[in-house]
């Protein structure tokens, strides 16, 4: 039985994790739920899943929850609250799905407490990959990818040796503006940007997908998860999001993982690994015409992806700055403060001001993250 804490339970991944839990009450039990502001959704989740411990953003929200939920539920708040949810002694699996680098601390705490991690929160690995992976090694903790591309690679690697891998190919949908030129991008709105062609996801990742920063973050995520060099990580535009990624081996054989775009598949795989159990999702229908298209990714069209490769290769604190500046710029775009194309150009401006530290400690990463956020708010 998996005794699960979900960090980010009110989000897109969090709610789909609870869908999976609902389908298999014999396999999964919810121990803890951590959210931020959506206390009403959390309250419904508490009523249905009866966790032992929950957390929200503030004391005020925690008090509101306490007034409305059974008295035996521990209700906490803030980063400390999320960490307590992550390390609860009755939990043995943490689904890390807070958005952004706010997920870093609770995920690190879960690793230190020896919990198996299902990792959706890619920003954690982008901002502090070496710290997270070293800690997982130190505590003998397994990190199972939830991000669809990384889950695909993880599935394609089963029974294989990572030293046999020539390269991996991450597939990219191209996002909501894939049919627009850079010139067209000057006019786009927030509403248009939030209309992803294939996936229904949270706002931040949907904007990241439109700039293709999402693929850039995923390149860095793949580097840490699978120990691959950046030369071994390629991307290909694949409009259908049916092939979730591919692994090419030294003999040039390619192994791919396919399926309809449904995040419950990689979420459930992370939860049941190495087993597979049933899931109510429409399978691919081969009785109909099915076309799978591939195009090379144009780095001039998607400069955020180029920037992410550069920061990944540079290492040290560069990915930390990239991630923090991106989080702020996406927020500013969503608030209507800056136009779409400024997301990339302003991130570049912040990166240009940064003097890299090569092997940063966690403290240094937190300092640099805050510096980049301040800079990004001002440029
Ligand atoms: N959605 C998807 O299909 C995929 C997502 N991912 C990754 O998974 C992560 C989550 O994405 P997604 O579910 O789309 O995001 P959402 O915006 O839908 O959800 C984010 C969740 O994080 C919570 N949260 C935000 N800040 C904090 C905080 N400081 N402390 C505790 N909880 C917090 C939110 O709480 P509240 O709602 O209460 O404010 C919400 O539950 C991201 O890293 C994303 O890149 C990866 C692959 C696919
Ligand atoms: C579902 C998932 O894993 C997302 O990260 C998805 O990959 C976004 O799609 P694109 O970034 O390819 O548009
Ligand atoms: Mn993905």
Beta-carbon contacts of residue 142 (< 8 Å; ≥ 6 apart): 116, 117, 136
Q: Please, which residues have CB less than 5 A from ligand 3, an ion?
A: 147-149
Overall average pLDDT of the 284-310 stretch: 96
The binding site consists of 10-13, 38, 121-123, 147-149, 173, 196, 202, 209, 214-215, 218
- Give the pLDDT score at 174: 98
Beta-carbon contacts of residue 202 (< 8 Å; ≥ 6 apart): 11, 12, 13, 99
- Give the pLDDT score at 379: 80
**Mind giving me the DSSP string for 33-85?**
EE-SS-HHHHHHHHHHH--SEEEESSHHHHHHHHHHS-TTSEEEEHHHHHHHH
Residue 349 has pLDDT above 90, yes or no: yes
Burial code (b: 16+ CB inside 10 Å, e: under 16) for 232-243 equals ebebbbbbbbbb
- Give the pLDDT score at 236: 98
What is the distance in A from the centroid of ligand 3 to the CA of 149? 5
The binding site for NADPH consists of 10-13, 38, 121, 123, 202
Which atom of ligand 2 lies at the shortest distance from residue 263's CA? 1
Measured in whole angstroms, how far is the alpha carbon of residue 119 from the centre of its chain?
7
pLDDT tens track for 216-258: 999 999 999 999 999 999 999 999 999 999 999 999 999 999 9
246 beta partners:
169, 256
- Give the pLDDT score at 97: 99
Distance CA 2, CA 116 (A): 10
Overall average pLDDT of the 292-321 stretch: 98
What is the distance in A from the centroid of ligand 2 to the CA of 209? 6
Q: Give the chain's radius of gyration (CA, Å).
A: 20
Overall average pLDDT of the 342-356 stretch: 98
**Mind giving me the DSSP string for 236-293?**
EE-TT--EEEEEEETTS-EEEEE--S-THHHHHHHHHTT-------PPP-TTS-----
Which pLDDT band, with edges at 50, 70 and 90, does 55 fall under? very high
- Give the pLDDT score at 289: 86
pTM value is 0.98
Nearest partner of 12 among 241, 146, 200, 190, judged by Cα: 200
Enter the ipTM. Answer: 0.99
Which pLDDT band, with edges at 50, 70 and 90, does 186 fall under? very high
- Give the pLDDT score at 106: 98
Q: Are 306 and 313 in contact (CB under 8 A)?
A: no
Overall average pLDDT of the 264-286 stretch: 96
- Could you give the percent of the chain with pLDDT greater than 90? 99
Distance CA 272, CA 156 (A): 16
- Give the pLDDT score at 336: 98
* Residue 121 Cβ contacting ligand 2 at under 6 Å: no
Structural element, H or E, at residue 137:
helix 122-138
Could you tell which of 120, 125, 148 is best to mutate to test the pocket of ligand 2, judged by most ligand atoms within 8 Å of the CB?
148
- Give the pLDDT score at 1: 95
- Could you give the percent of the chain with pLDDT greater than 70? 100
- Give the pLDDT score at 334: 98
Overall average pLDDT of the 147-173 stretch: 97
- Give the pLDDT score at 297: 97
Delineate the domains of the chain, giving CATH numbers in brackets: 2-145 (3.40.50.720), 150-314 (no CATH)
Nearest partner of 362 among 177, 157, 107, judged by Cα: 107
φ, ψ at 268 (rounded to 5°): -65, -40
pLDDT tens track for 60-99: 999 999 999 999 999 999 999 999 999 999 999 999 999 9
């Amino acid at each position: 039985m998996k005794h699960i804490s979900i960090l980010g339970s009110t989000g897109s991944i969090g709610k789909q994790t609870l869908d999976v839990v609902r389908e298999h009450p014999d396999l999964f039990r919810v121990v803890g739920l951590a959210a931020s502001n959506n206390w009403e959704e959390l309250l419904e989740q508490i009523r249905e899943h009866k966790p032992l411990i929950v957390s929200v953003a503030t004391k005020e929200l925690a008090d509101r929850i306490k007034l409305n939920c059974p008295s035996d539920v521990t209700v906490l708040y803030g980063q400390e609250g999320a960490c307590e949810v992550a390390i609860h002694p009755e939990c043995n699996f943490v689904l890390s799905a807070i958005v952004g680098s706010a997920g870093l601390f609770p995920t690190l705490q879960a690793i230190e407490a020896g919990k198996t991690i299902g990792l959706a929160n890619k920003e954690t690995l982008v901002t502090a990959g070496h710290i997270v992976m070293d800690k997982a090694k130190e505590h003998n903790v397994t990190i199972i990818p939830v991000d669809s591309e990384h889950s695909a690679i993880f599935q394609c690697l089963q029974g294989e040796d990572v030293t046999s891998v020539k390269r991996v190919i991450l597939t990219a949908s191209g996002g909501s503006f894939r049919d627009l030129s850079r010139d067209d991008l000057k006019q786009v709105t927030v509403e248009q940007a939030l209309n992803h062609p294939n996936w229904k996801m949270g706002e931040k990742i949907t904007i990241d997908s439109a700039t293709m920063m999402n693929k850039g973050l995923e390149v860095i995520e793949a580097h840490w998860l699978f120990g691959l060099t950046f030369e071994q990580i390629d991307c290909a535009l694949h409009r259908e999001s049916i092939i979730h990624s591919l692994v090419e081996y030294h003999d040039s054989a390619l192994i791919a993982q396919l399926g309809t775009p449904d995040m419950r598949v990689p979420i459930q795989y992370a939860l049941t690994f190495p087993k597979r159990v049933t899931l109510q999702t429409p399978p691919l229908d081969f009785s109909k015409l099915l076309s799978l298209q591939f195009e090379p990714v144009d780095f001039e069209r998607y400069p955020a992806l180029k920037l992410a490769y550069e920061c990944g290769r540079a290492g040290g604190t560069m990915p930390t700055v990239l991630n923090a500046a991106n989080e702020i710029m996406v927020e500013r775009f969503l608030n209507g403060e800056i136009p779409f194309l400024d997301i990339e150009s302003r991130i570049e401006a912040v990166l240009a001001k940064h003097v890299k530290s090569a092997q940063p400690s966690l403290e240094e990463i937190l300092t640099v993250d805050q510096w980049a956020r301040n800079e990004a708010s001002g440029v």
